[in-house]
Each structure stands twice: as structure tokens, then as C-alpha cells.
Chain A
Amino acid sequence: MNLESHLRSRRDAGAKLLVPYVTGGLGREWHEVVRAVVDAGADAVEVGIPFSDPIMDGRTIQEASQRALDLGATPIGVIDVMATIDVPAPLVVMTYYNLVARLGHERCAQHLSQCGVDGAIVPDLPLDELDGWGDAADAAGVETVLLAAPTTPDERLRQICERSRGFVYGVSLMGVTGERNELAIHAGEMGRRCKAVTDKPVLLGVGISTPEQAAQAAASADGVIVGSALVRRLLDGGGPDEAAAFVRSLRVALDSTPAVA
């Protein structure tokens, strides 16, 4: 499934986009969690391939990654399971560059493509270092989503939006992933700045933890990514049902948000 065209068509139909994050390999039921969140209204799902040293992740996803690694999760293992998840929504992997480089650019891109993975997010591979992976991913039809940050200057923001595939991932605060009590003041501006320079779907992520925050963030963008708040529920023993209930609450909140004018 093409990530960008799927998200565009949902957006153009008037929906706010919702992309939950699930740590791959976190418990035996993790692929059931992916199915459940799609049933509950996710427009795409981000699957984390756990890495030993996740520098863009806060405590919750660090802990989930470590637990998944302790349970024996491997990059190829997670991707292979994704091939068996038959859902009417695109799947995107989120991981760190060392795992991609260790597999090799071409081999990694082709394996993702063969397993039906539509996109990839590699937060420690910024625009300037993208070439080798970016070319391999393009050739294999894997859409590489780039991150834009509150610190990104205007001209660079334009280049990032131009080079990003699938959607643009606007980092909604100064910091790493994790739940926050309030939506950061940067979120609205991040959404508006990205929207001003691209027609691609713009999703805000990092620190969006509650239905209220999701709705608030989505007011300035096309949608949101919610990770730690969902993963914490899984760490606390929740399974597909709890995940679905939380995602449904996000969906309801987003559906009551008016579209960007």
C-alpha cells in the first residue's frame, strides 16, 4: 500500500490522521495489538524495531525496547512478523540507523518491501546523511519519512518536506519521546510551519499522550503520532483490547476536530 497516497486520501476525505506506535516484539501478542489498533481507527501503524541505544526515545520506549530485546526480538524477526499482519492500513517501521546499516541498505529495503512494509522512520539519519539509505529505500518502494524539528530553520524545513516520503513527521516539542502533562507550545507552530511549505500529510508526534492533546495538536496539522502513551499501557500488562480502547478514544477526539482551514 502506498503510504502517502493512503494518508492523502484519508485526509482529503476530511479525516484527521492517527498513527499509533507499537514496539515490535513486545510480548507474544504484539502483532495482535497492531491489528486491534487498525480496527480501532488507526490510519497507519508505526512499528518500532527495538535498538539497544535509542537516543530519541524517553523512558517508556527505552523500557519497551529493552524488554522486547530480552524476549529475543531481532530486526528481521520483527519485519517477518509484519508480513503476516494483514490490515487495511499501511505499516511503517521506526528504528535506528545502526540496525539498517548492519543489514545493509539494499537488503533492508528489499526485505521491508517484500514483507509489505510501506515506510521507514530512522530518526538518527538526518537529511544530510540520507543518501545511501534514501536511494535504496526509494528503489524498493519503501517511503522514508523525515523528521522536522522546532529548531529546523525555514530553508532546511523546505528541503526536509521536499525529500520526505509518505508524510512529514513534525516533532512537536524540544525533547525525546514520552508522555507529557501538557501539549508543548511548539506543537501548533510546528504544524503550521510544515503545512505552509508542503502539501504532503503533516503529522505531529513526540509528547502527544491524551485524546485532548491529540485533538489540540491535530488542529494545526493533518494528524498525530501517539507512541509512549500506548506503549505504557502495553508495559503495564495491557493487550489488544486495552490498546484498541485507547486508540478508539484518540479516534473519537480527532473526529470531533475541525479540518484545517
Chain B
Amino acid sequence: MQLEPPGPEPVGLGRFGEFGGRYAPETLVPALVQLEQEFRSAWSDEAFRAEYAALLSSYAGRPTPVTECHRLSGQLGLRILLKREDLTHTGSHKINNVLGQALLTRRMGKMRVIAETGAGQHGVATATAAALFGLGCVVYMGAVDVERQALNVWRMKLLGAEVVPVESGSATLKDAVNEAMRAWVASVESTHYCLGSAMGPHPFPWMVREFQRVVGDEAYRQCREILGDADPDVVVACVGGGSNAIGTFAGFVDTNARLVGVEAGGQGLESGHHGAAVMRGVPGIVHGMRSLFLQDEFGQVLEASSISAGLDYPGVGPEHAMLAATGRAEYHAATDQEALAGFQLLAATEGIVPALEPAHAIAWVAREAGHAIPAGSTVLITLSGRGDKDAAQVAEMLGGLE
């Protein structure tokens, strides 16, 4: 497969409008500068790009198809296309990013990676790449998530990674990021931090978007083919930190398609228990970046809440904050209950069990069909991952199926 040309670099120290930046402890700054330089040179190096493309193709199973959903389309009165990241090796879009970062790790001469994980998808992907490249691997995971994603914890261990449960704070993704950053401060000379979303200090938001843009670049071409040289009317993806969404949007930002990010509505935006950082967050500086965060009046970061561990994060990547500020993308939310319904809806109508994260995107489209999405619209939804990891949790919530 052939990669599309690189996308635009952020301005200065990783600025996306007023967002982004490199707010990191001094110990990490030299490593971030080195990573930025290495990524910039690798990303314009044809040999690196060819090796990355070959891995995406022969190992990760790209390109992934776009599937037209006939029964769901009929039910909702829309034309629905799914970008099938659930069909990649390891079962989510996370593999795109980790293969790129693993290649960079080797290029920098480092022999060890660490990562944070929420749902465990990024942890599994990182452990997979580490096994493939023979790198040491430690994954930090909130203790709550270790509990609710036991299968992924087992997979990571099988792949040779050490999984460290993080007990501090809310013991979810936010705290796993904190702990991974602390661990990186102690090991930066030998270790690369394989950050899993398009967030964190520069160059991560830019680099991860570039490693994920293959999702949008492929989908753009595939949609053109399916739709007869037209673009979808609406492009939808779920947003936690926002890497599958930013990768998807990268392919459509220059078209007239409406770009929609769907955040975790949790128990409802009014309940205060949700993960909707774009909709309800305010500007702040956390985890190395200026972006939008759920925080109290003093600037203390609030705990996010979501049925899906992958969206259970009180912030969002800085490019999303910019796209929201400029109005180029719009952000909405689907609640836990709606996501559960979306999970079942796609399974029943298309024979595809989505992860709980993209079930939010499905749910928003189902809810807004004929409302915010005019009847007859063509809608591309990125199905960022498969639902196997969530089966036990959902079974427990729904009880026996009739």
C-alpha cells in the first residue's frame, strides 16, 4: 500500500491555534526535542515511510475496508458507511500509531517502551509492537480499568508486557497517563513513551495524528469510489483523547463533509458524570498540553465518567480543541445508555459487534437520524475497534439476552 503525503505541521512549539504546546518537566524536554526531530526526519524519509507502509499492510492488515450498512441504513433512513478499524490486527486503530512509534523507537536506538492504556486497546497494541520488535514493554493502567478489562490485561501479559495497575486518583486513564509520565521522567534515556492518543506534549499530538491519518486517507479514497467521486455528507468518530477521530478527520478536513466528534455523555451532561471535555471543558494545561479539560473553578482536574474505559478521560487532544474553536468540527455526546443501545443495534442489524467507544458514534447517528442529520444523508462512521473486549462487561449490564 502507498501512504498519502504528510499532513501539515502544527505551528511553532506544536500549536494548534491557541492549543497544544510542550508543557513538560525539564527532564523530558530534551527527549521531546529529539523525538520531534526524529519524527520529522523519518516522516519525510521514503525508506521509513515504505517500511511503515509495509508493516501496515503485511502485519496490521491494511487497508481496512469500508462497509456499506444496508440494513442499518434502511432502519435509520440514511446511507451509512463504516470504516472498519475493528478488522485490523489487535482489533482497533491503535495499531497504526504503535507500529509507527515502534519504528521510531528503534530508529532512536531505544530498547524499551512504556505506555498508558484505558480500555487496554492501546496497551495491547503497544505490547504487540514490542513483541514484534523485541522491545521491553511496561503498560500503566488504572486499577479500575484493570478490573473491567481483564481480558486485555491477560493479552498484554501473554505478549510479554508488564502491566502496572495505577491506584492513584480515579484509577482510570488520566491517572495512567500521570504514572506513565512519571515513569518516563525516571527512564527517558533508555525508554520511549509510546503515547496512545493525539494528545500530550509536542510532538505527540502531531505525530499520532500523522500515524492515524491513514484511517482518513484510506476512507476518503474508498468513499470516493463507493459514492462516485463524492464525499460523505457527515463524517463521525468517537472522541476520548481523539486519535481515531483526528486520523479520520485528517482525510476529510479539506472536503465539505461535516466533521462530528462524539464524546462520552456518561450518565448525561447535566449529571456531571461524563467525559465530554470539548462540550463541557475549559482551557487548561494538563498532561503536557494546553487544551480543553473538565476541571473545577480552581483548576483541579475532575474525574471523567464513561461506560467505556477508552473515553473515560477528562481532556482531549489539542487539535480537536482547535477544530471546535474554529467550528470546522462539531462535538456532541452520547450517554452510556445510548452507547449500549448502539452496541446492540449494530450487532443486530449488521452482524458487527463494535467496541463501546465507537458504539457512542453509532448511537449519536441513530439518535440524530432525521434530526441533526437530514434524512437521506450519507454518513461515514469510523468503527475504531471491535467489541470482544467489552462482551463480558456488557453481558453483565444487560443480563441474559431474550
- Contact of A129 with B26 in the complex, beta carbons under 8 Å: no
Q: Determine the distance from Cα of A36 to Cα of B178 in the docked complex, in whole angstroms.
A: 33
Say whether, besides A124-B285, A156-B30, A174-B189, A56 and B25 are in contact (CB < 8 Å). yes
Pairwise interchain contact B182-A98, C-beta atoms closer than 8 A? no
B contacts with A, residue count (CB < 8 A): 36
Known: A52-B300, A101-B285, A102-B299. A174 touches B188 (CB 8 A): yes
Beta-carbon contact of B23 and A124 below 8 Å: yes
Pairwise interchain contact B26-A123, C-beta atoms closer than 8 A? yes
Contact assessment for A153 and B30 in the assembled complex, using a CB-CB cutoff below 8 Å: yes
| A 154-177 to B, binary, CB cutoff 8 A, 1 in contact else 0 | 001000100000000001001110
Would you give the shortest CB distance from B13 to chain A, in whole angstroms?
6
A203 to B8, CA, bound (A): 42
**Interface residues of B: mostly helix, strand, loop or mixed?**
mixed
A interface residues, tally (CB under 8 Å): 42
B132 at the interface (CB under 8 A from A): no
Residue B376 is within 8 A (CB to CB) of chain A in the complex: no
Known contacts A74-B298, A101-B299, A174-B185: A149-B286 contact under CB 8 Å? no
Whether the Cβ atoms of B22 and A128 lie closer than 8 Å is: yes
Known A-B contacts A52-B301, A174-B185, A174-B189; A102 and B25 likewise in contact (beta carbons under 8 Å): no
A58 to B182, CA, bound (A): 8
Nearest opposing residue in chain B for A176, CB measure: B182
The residue in B178, B181, B185 that gathers the most chain A C-beta atoms within 10 A of its C-beta is B185
Q: Quick one: given A58-B182, A148-B26, A152-B30, are A101 and B13 in contact (CB under 8 Å)?
A: no
- CB closest chain-B residue, reference A147: B26
Q: Mark B160-179, 1 if CB is under 8 A from A, else 0.
A: 00000000110000100010
**Neighbour of B29 across the interface among A52, A66, A98, A126, CB < 8 A:** A126
Q: Are B27 and A174 in contact (CB under 8 A)?
A: yes
Using Cβ atoms and an 8 Å threshold, which residues of chain A touch B301?
Answer: 52-53, 98
Residue of B nearest to A75 (CB): B298
Interface bits A38-66 vs B (CB < 8 Å: 1, else 0): 00000000000001111111110010001
Given the interface contacts A98-B301, A151-B188, does A171 sit within 8 Å of B27 by beta carbon?
yes
Query: What are 12 A-B contacts with C-beta separation under 8 Å?
Result: A53-B174, A53-B178, A55-B25, A97-B23, A98-B301, A99-B298, A101-B285, A123-B25, A126-B26, A146-B26, A152-B30, A175-B185
Q: A residues within 8 Å of B by Cβ?
A: 51-59, 62, 66, 69, 74-76, 97-99, 101-103, 123-129, 146-153, 156, 160, 171, 174-176
